Chain A
Amino acid sequence: MFKSLFYKDLMLLIKDFKFQVFFIILMILFILSGIASANQVKKQQKEYHEEINSEMKYAQNNSGRMMYLIANQGIKYYHTPGISDMVLETKGFPTALGTNILHFNPYAYKRTAEGYSFSLNWLFILGLIGSLMVLIFSFDSLSEEKINGMLKLQTVSGLSRSQIVFSKFLSILTLYLLAIIPAGTVSLLLFSGMTGLFSFLFLVKTVLFILLSIPLISFFILIGIWISLSRHHMSNIVIALSFWLIFIIIIPQLASIVGKKISPIASHKEMNQRIQDAASKVHEEYYKKYTFDFGGNGTLEKGIRSKGFDAADAARAKQAGLNREIYFKQIETIEKISFLSPYSIFKHITEIIFDKNFYRMKKDIDHLQILQQAIKDEILEEDKKDPASMHLCYAYAEGDKYAVMNRGITPFSDKPYPHPEKLINTDFQEESLLDKLQQISLWLFAMIMIDILLLGTINMIFRKYDIR
């Protein structure tokens, strides 16, 4: 009995004008998304290769000298553009990081556009359009049947009320999957065909992505069914759209504003000033204690100047680290507030699966730190082998070299760094899918619980609902 009800609901929805319009829209959007993402990735790859080659050339030609390297060059880490951009782009976060070699102090070397504009990717299509679609189907699912008398007939035919609600829910969910899967397949085929990029892992991730969208879509279906139980069905559409606007548009955007109020950052100037002051404090201490031996470059061999400058740089990096914690705290606060919206939770889950945005940036910073330490150790080892070096490792060695040049020595080794290709890094160690699933399990559980709660509540309300 339930099967025939479900089948009837599904058929009615498929024949509905609404589904036909949305199906065409989704198909067009997915096709365009595939083409747009393919072209975008090809363009990004071209720019990426040009930039990497240019950076490598610069590293090999200009920074061969280790003294120059520790003064002016740094290490850069780039994201490789890839197929995951079809699902979700990096927005507002850096796609390339850099740091000095002597002291770890990561900075955003390349950054993408601002965070809140829409892009033609799968998250946009499923998250925004998909949720709107299911809401439009569900907001009058019960009220329409009440008006045309179908609800009365269904209840007298031996079906329980819970079965009616569940049938509505399941039929709309099935419709969503029927609309998404063919369109998504076409998009994926187009993308892979145009770029030549494809991996089994990515296919698994996209299937996972569609499956993970189910709790989000279920949320909106259930909200729509709940709205359809309202007595004043003429205003249902306004209430339904209000919910959609609140959860999809307003909460994510307001989260940024509220988050900045809760976790404010001092002004740009002040944050920079704190870093300068940390270094200046060390300078002043050394200056007071050692005067000429620190302030001038005539007594480099004593090592006081190099020690002082290095200590100041270390203080600078330490303060930058404290600043970084403040920046991260703000981002985390914004994220937490945005989690009031299930769309933001879904976006967060997607970021973990596809290694994007804040989740990816934190991993990048850890990776860059390991890289920086390894290169620094290697440079120090190479310097030890240079008999012309005074083995004074500090960023200002390049500037002070003129003071000792006439003696045939240099404050630090001026020899070429043997592995300049290491200065430009693009490696990325991805976690296993199982680890990622473990990380998202709590979020998934929360969303599923919300859906179950909603379903339970709707069942309770529907039990007392007047179907006449």
Chain B
Amino acid sequence: MLKLFIIHEMKSLLKTRKVIWSLLLFLTLFSIFFYIRLDDFQKRMNNYIQDVEQTEKQLSEATNYSFLNPRAIRKPKLFSIYHEGNTHTYGNVINVEFFEPILESALMNTEYNLYFKDYPQIDITYLVTFFLSLFILLISYDCINREKANGTLRIVMTWPFKRNLYLLKKLIGIFTFVSLVFSLPYFLSFIALIILYGSMISSGFITSYIVYWIMVLLYIMIISCIGVLISILTHKPGKSLVLALFLWTFFCIINPVLWRFVHDYLPRKQAEKIHKELDVVTENLFSFNYPDSLNLNNMSHYNWNSNGKNAYVTVFGPSSTMKAHREYNRFTMKNYMPLVFKREELYTLYDKANKRYNEYSHYFMFFNPNEVLDNTASIIGGSSQADQNQFIEDARSVRNSFLDQGVRDGWLYSNEYFAWYDANIEADDLPKLGLDLQSITSWDQFYVFMETKVGFYKMKVPQMKRYQQREVQLTEIFPKIISSLIIMITLICGLLYFLKIKFDAYDIR
């Protein structure tokens, strides 16, 4: 009987114009949003390919070790088509440079307007929380009280079945209808992705796709329960419309705005304490001085080009100068790098402490289901704050292993690090090769001599530890989303219980 009721409910929904309008609007928006996300994903993939190509090219063209920058580049995740998360908040590239702290990610080949930072939050999660919830409320706000107003409820209640069955009919009918409305385009989009990006469909993506779908179904159930409850609590359809719209406005607009206001005033004593320590370390780092014996500005150079602190360097000069540069690196590793590591550690601790409330917005004011879905989707899709922190940690791990390799293999403290033309030739050797520096009157002469008389230093890119992107694993995400699952299931059970109590006492006349 329930099955018949549910089919009957779904058919009657399809007969109403408002449902048809809502359905058409939702499907149109789904198509538009999906196309926009697809386009954005393709752009990001193109940027990623360019980023990787340029990085590999730079590595292969490195003339000495200081030019090596095995960047950590994050590949766009296919699931980001459905949920944006932090995709555009943070850059996808981390430069792994010698002696520089790794604090944030950056952009390389991505389009970036220097004067205006914006990225609309248009994704499928936004569509679900903003539009699908409205759709559900609009079809359910008068499902019971309109039948009461029309007088059909009295007639239906004369049939030989319990009140609960009627309630279930409404609830499951609406839930099944909306689930199909969402699942159909969702499934079709999956087919589209298989056709377009079949090679990128991984186990991680399938895990995210299925778990996300389950979360959305739970969300639909919650909103359906709310819609039916509104219909029971208010006697007039006009009033229930106002209440439904108020609740929708509250969940979608007012609650997030209020959360942003409250969020700024939540206690952050731990973050403040860490920040004070971070300020001290940063100050020490910026005011770090080298001893006079290593003041490279006071030394004679034939060539000294540098882009960074001591990265992308080419040096050539007398033996004493070359020795000073080697000692400079040694001094940097021993005295400067510990400050860098400390700064990184404190920066991460501060960032975590400062942002600890960011993904707990659903605990604010009665577990807003929109926020629960949004925060959970970020974890499911691997685009949460924790994933960004992990990306930075992984890049640091690459940098540290790179430095360890340099120390172990010896090139970090040798001429090979900053070699210009030949690591084994020092300026003192030049007269032996027939060069009289006093006779040189132009740089071109010097270059010609260096090219003909001295062998090029053939830089061989060493085997380095490279960044490996982590895949989403069910065993990893499940413990993180279990609290959200419990919240949603508790909300559903609570709402169902409340619905039963209210409908049992509902005056059907």
By a beta-carbon cutoff of 8 Å, the part of chain A in contact with chain B is 17-18, 21, 25, 29, 32, 36, 39-40, 43, 91-94, 107-108, 111, 114-120, 124, 128-129, 132, 136, 232, 234-235, 237-239, 241-242, 245, 249-250, 253-254, 256-257, 260, 264-271, 287, 291-292, 295, 323-324, 327-328, 330-331, 334, 358, 361, 399, 402
In the complex, which residues 227-261 of chain B have their Cβ closer than 8 Å to any Cβ of chain A?
238-239, 241-243, 245-246, 249, 253-254, 256-258, 260-261
Please give me the residue from chain B that is nearest to A24 by CB atom. B246
Q: Are A128 and B253 in contact (CB under 8 A)?
A: yes
With contacts A21-B242, A238-B138, A295-B443 taken as known, whether A93 is within 8 angstroms of B115 at the C-beta atoms is: yes
Please give me the residue from chain B that is nearest to A246 by CB atom. B25
Please give me the residue from chain B that is nearest to A230 by CB atom. B17
Most buried by B among A254, A268, A270, A358: A268
Please give me the residue from chain B that is nearest to A295 by CB atom. B443
Contact string, B110-136, partner A, CB cutoff 8 A, digits 1/0?
Answer: 111111111111100000001100100
Q: Complex: how many Å from CA A271 to CA B107?
A: 12
With contacts A118-B256, A120-B260, A253-B122 taken as known, whether A18 is within 8 angstroms of B111 at the C-beta atoms is: no
In the complex, which residues 52-99 of chain B have their Cβ closer than 8 Å to any Cβ of chain A?
54, 89
Q: Complex: how many Å from CA A364 to CA B292?
A: 44
Q: Are B246 and A25 in contact (CB under 8 A)?
A: yes
CB proximity of B326 to chain A, nearest CB, Å: 21
CB proximity of B100 to chain A, nearest CB, Å: 18
Main DSSP-derived SS at the A contact region: helix
Q: Are B249 and A238 in contact (CB under 8 A)?
A: no
In the assembled complex, which residues on chain A have CB atoms less than 8 Å from the CB atom of B36?
Answer: 254, 257
Sorting the interface of chain B by its residue count into under 10, 10 to 19, 20 to 34 or 35 or more gives: 35 or more
What total of A-B pairs shows CB separation below 8 Å?
151
Q: Complex: how many Å from CA A255 to CA B18?
A: 28
Q: Are B443 and A291 in contact (CB under 8 A)?
A: yes
Q: Are B111 and A265 in contact (CB under 8 A)?
A: yes
Q: Mind listing 28 A-B residue pairs with CB under 8 Å?
A: A32-B258, A39-B264, A40-B264, A43-B264, A92-B117, A114-B119, A115-B117, A115-B118, A116-B121, A120-B260, A128-B253, A235-B17, A245-B131, A254-B36, A256-B120, A257-B36, A257-B122, A260-B111, A265-B112, A268-B111, A287-B443, A291-B443, A292-B442, A292-B443, A323-B114, A327-B113, A327-B114, A328-B115
Q: Are B109 and A269 in contact (CB under 8 A)?
A: yes
In the assembled complex, which residues on chain A have CB atoms less than 8 Å from the CB atom of B17?
Answer: 232, 234-235
Q: Are B117 and A238 in contact (CB under 8 A)?
A: no
Question: Contact partner of A136 among B110, B130, B245, B442, CB < 8 A?
Answer: B245
Q: Complex: how many Å from CA A358 to CA B115?
A: 9
Most buried by A among B54, B116, B122, B134: B116
In the assembled complex, which residues on chain A have CB atoms less than 8 Å from the CB atom of B246?
Answer: 21, 25
B22 within 8 A of A: yes
Q: Complex: how many Å from CA A120 to CA B249?
A: 14
B459 within 8 A of A: no
Q: Complex: how many Å from CA A93 to CA B107?
A: 18
Q: Complex: how many Å from CA A140 to CA B110?
A: 48
Q: Complex: how many Å from CA A241 to CA B131?
A: 10
Please give me the residue from chain B that is nearest to A97 by CB atom. B115
Q: Are B111 and A111 in contact (CB under 8 A)?
A: no
Q: Complex: how many Å from CA A291 to CA B444?
A: 8
Q: Are A269 and B108 in contact (CB under 8 A)?
A: yes
Q: Are A120 and B261 in contact (CB under 8 A)?
A: yes
Q: Complex: how many Å from CA A17 to CA B114?
A: 48
Q: Are A237 and B138 in contact (CB under 8 A)?
A: yes
Please give me the residue from chain A that is nearest to B301 by CB atom. A296
With contacts A238-B138, A242-B21, A269-B108 taken as known, whether A108 is within 8 angstroms of B115 at the C-beta atoms is: yes
Q: Complex: how many Å from CA A298 to CA B107?
A: 39
Instruction: Report, nearest first, the 8 A-B pairs whose CB atoms are least far apart.
Output: A115-B118, A253-B120, A235-B17, A267-B109, A235-B18, A268-B112, A238-B21, A36-B261
Please give me the residue from chain B that is nearest to A253 by CB atom. B120
Q: Are B442 and A291 in contact (CB under 8 A)?
A: yes
Q: Are B242 and A331 in contact (CB under 8 A)?
A: no
In the assembled complex, which residues on chain A have CB atoms less than 8 Å from the CB atom of B463?
Answer: none
Q: Are A331 and B116 in contact (CB under 8 A)?
A: yes
Q: Complex: how many Å from CA A399 to CA B246?
A: 64
Please give me the residue from chain B that is nearest to A17 by CB atom. B239
Q: Are A119 and B257 in contact (CB under 8 A)?
A: yes
CB proximity of A72 to chain B, nearest CB, Å: 12
In the assembled complex, which residues on chain A have CB atoms less than 8 Å from the CB atom of B238?
Answer: 17-18
CB proximity of A55 to chain B, nearest CB, Å: 15
Q: Are A266 and B111 in contact (CB under 8 A)?
A: yes
B50 within 8 A of A: yes
Contact string, B296-320, partner A, CB cutoff 8 A, digits 1/0?
Answer: 0110000000000000000000000
Q: Complex: how many Å from CA A108 to CA B115?
A: 6
CB proximity of A154 to chain B, nearest CB, Å: 20
Given A265-B112, A291-B443, 5 more pairs with CB closer than 8 A: A94-B115, A234-B17, A235-B18, A242-B21, A267-B109
Q: Complex: how many Å from CA A136 to CA B238?
A: 11
Please give me the residue from chain B that is nearest to A265 by CB atom. B111
CB proximity of B288 to chain A, nearest CB, Å: 15
Contact string, B2-28, partner A, CB cutoff 8 A, digits 1/0?
Answer: 000000000000001110111001000
Q: Complex: how many Å from CA A29 to CA B89?
A: 29
Most buried by A among B17, B109, B241, B243: B17
CB proximity of A143 to chain B, nearest CB, Å: 12
In the assembled complex, which residues on chain B have CB atoms less than 8 Å from the CB atom of A107?
Answer: 114
Q: Complex: how many Å from CA A429 to CA B111?
A: 34
Please give me the residue from chain A that is nearest to B111 by CB atom. A265
Q: Complex: how many Å from CA A242 to CA B118?
A: 24
Q: Are A237 and B18 in contact (CB under 8 A)?
A: yes
Q: Are B138 and A241 in contact (CB under 8 A)?
A: yes
In the assembled complex, which residues on chain A have CB atoms less than 8 Å from the CB atom of B119?
Answer: 114, 116, 256
Q: Are B110 and A237 in contact (CB under 8 A)?
A: no
B47 within 8 A of A: yes
In the assembled complex, which residues on chain B have CB atoms less than 8 Å from the CB atom of A129?
Answer: 249, 253
Q: Are B260 and A267 in contact (CB under 8 A)?
A: no
Question: Contact partner of A265 among B113, B249, B441, CB < 8 A?
Answer: B113
In the assembled complex, which residues on chain A have CB atoms less than 8 Å from the CB atom of B366?
Answer: none
CB proximity of A139 to chain B, nearest CB, Å: 10
Please give me the residue from chain A that is nearest to B28 by CB atom. A242
Q: Are A120 and B258 in contact (CB under 8 A)?
A: yes
In the assembled complex, which residues on chain A have CB atoms less than 8 Å from the CB atom of B159?
Answer: none
Please give me the residue from chain A that is nearest to B256 by CB atom. A118
In the assembled complex, which residues on chain B have CB atoms less than 8 Å from the CB atom of A256?
Answer: 118-120
CB proximity of A122 to chain B, nearest CB, Å: 13
Q: Complex: how many Å from CA A324 to CA B298?
A: 39
In the assembled complex, which residues on chain B have CB atoms less than 8 Å from the CB atom of A253?
Answer: 120-122
Q: Are A331 and B113 in contact (CB under 8 A)?
A: yes
With contacts A21-B242, A257-B120, A291-B444 taken as known, whether A327 is within 8 angstroms of B115 at the C-beta atoms is: yes
Please give me the residue from chain A that is nearest to B120 by CB atom. A253
Q: Complex: how many Å from CA A258 to CA B108?
A: 22
In the assembled complex, which residues on chain A have CB atoms less than 8 Å from the CB atom of B107?
Answer: 268
Q: Are B115 and A116 in contact (CB under 8 A)?
A: no
With contacts A40-B264, A116-B120 taken as known, whether A108 is within 8 angstroms of B21 at the C-beta atoms is: no
Question: Contact partner of B111 among A115, A237, A245, A264, CB < 8 A?
Answer: A264
Q: Complex: how many Å from CA A250 to CA B242?
A: 23
Contact string, B189-227, partner A, CB cutoff 8 A, digits 1/0?
Answer: 000000000000000000000000000000000000000
In the assembled complex, which residues on chain B have CB atoms less than 8 Å from the CB atom of A39?
Answer: 264-265
Q: Are B254 and A29 in contact (CB under 8 A)?
A: yes
In the assembled complex, which residues on chain B have CB atoms less than 8 Å from the CB atom of A94?
Answer: 115
Q: Are A235 and B21 in contact (CB under 8 A)?
A: yes
Q: Are B116 and A93 in contact (CB under 8 A)?
A: yes
In the assembled complex, which residues on chain B have CB atoms less than 8 Å from the CB atom of A241?
Answer: 134, 138
